[in-house]
Amino acid sequence: MTDIEELEHRRINGALFPPNKGMEPRTLFSKQPVLYDHLLFLDFDENGNSILGCSDLTGTFWEGTLFYFDKKNKIEEFDFSSYYIHTTTSDGKFVNQNTIALAEDTGHLNIVSVDTSQEGITLKSTASIKVIERIPQLAVWDNSDKVLCCSGRTVTIADVNADKIETRRNIHLENIMTVDSLKSNTNIFASGGRDRIACTWDLREEKPSGLYAQYRYFRVTDDLRDLGHSNSLRYALPDVCSAPIHTRFCMSMNSHL
């Protein structure tokens, strides 16, 4: 086969592909948003705006897409107002109406601003805070610029506006997998880990204010302060080794207002 014949043989629909094209690694993010199969988080702010985060966890190049919906009814039709393409994330939360926190699998807490000053809505990264390793979960407080996250055996509290970080560590024996906050009090939060230990924390103290351990794996599941206890943080520890899943224990902590 001549060089010209070989060139024509490799031409597909007018495009020319090298023989090793299928093995070339992908190194760039997509130019257009992609709705991936792995839907990892959904969050709403007090005005009905919402975010939806999805990631591609099966390919050779892991990528995530954050979709922003400026009205509550738009998410039902998947009529998104803006998007942000980034690395894969495990969680995302509204810090306030104009700020979103993303827990990236690279071990970064990515702060994304919602810019509505121009025509349309623009999402852009304004800060990136490096923590120890991958962040499994985030939590926020009402009327606060603080973000709570867990990474390894450490809990980190970051102020997105003041560039201030606080940490609590060396209490959990294994990785912390979940955190939750007392929404009305920025000093109070809880953490649960693979070591089967749950801790309640007060930022005015270095050590946990409460600790509970059991022999089976659990995770802090919810903030139940609406059960007539506006200044207490309650969370359930489900026994995931049983079928069906049921709550084994409920722990509460009164905040010092």
Sorted by where each starts, the structural domains of the chain and their CATH numbers stand as 29-130 (2.40.128), 132-257 (2.130.10.10)
pLDDT value of residue 213: 66
pLDDT value of residue 184: 87
pLDDT value of residue 160: 87
pLDDT value of residue 231: 54
1-10, 162-171, 183-192, range with the lowest pLDDT: 1-10
**Average pLDDT in the 110-136 region?**
89
Position 193, amino acid: G
pLDDT tens per residue across span 230-250: 455 555 544 433 333 333 334
**Average pLDDT in the 188-196 region?**
86
What is the strand order of the sheet 164-168 is part of? 138-140, 146-151, 154-159, 164-168
What is the 3 state secondary structure string of 58-127?
CCCCCEEEEEEECCCCHHHHCCCCEEEEECCEEEEEEEECCEEEEEECCCEEEEEEEECCCCCCEEEEEE
pLDDT value of residue 204: 87
pLDDT value of residue 91: 94
**Average pLDDT in the 87-112 region?**
92
Residue 176 has pLDDT above 60, yes or no: yes
- Position 29 confidence tier, pLDDT thresholds 50, 70, 90: confident
Whose structure tokens read 């803006």? 82
0.85 exceeded by the pTM? no
Mean pLDDT of the chain: 76
pLDDT value of residue 22: 55
Ramachandran bin of 38, using left for φ above 0, alpha for ψ from -120 to 50, beta for the remaining angles: beta
- Position 116 confidence tier, pLDDT thresholds 50, 70, 90: confident
pLDDT value of residue 7: 43
pLDDT value of residue 68: 95
pLDDT value of residue 67: 96
**Average pLDDT in the 102-130 region?**
90
**Average pLDDT in the 247-256 region?**
41
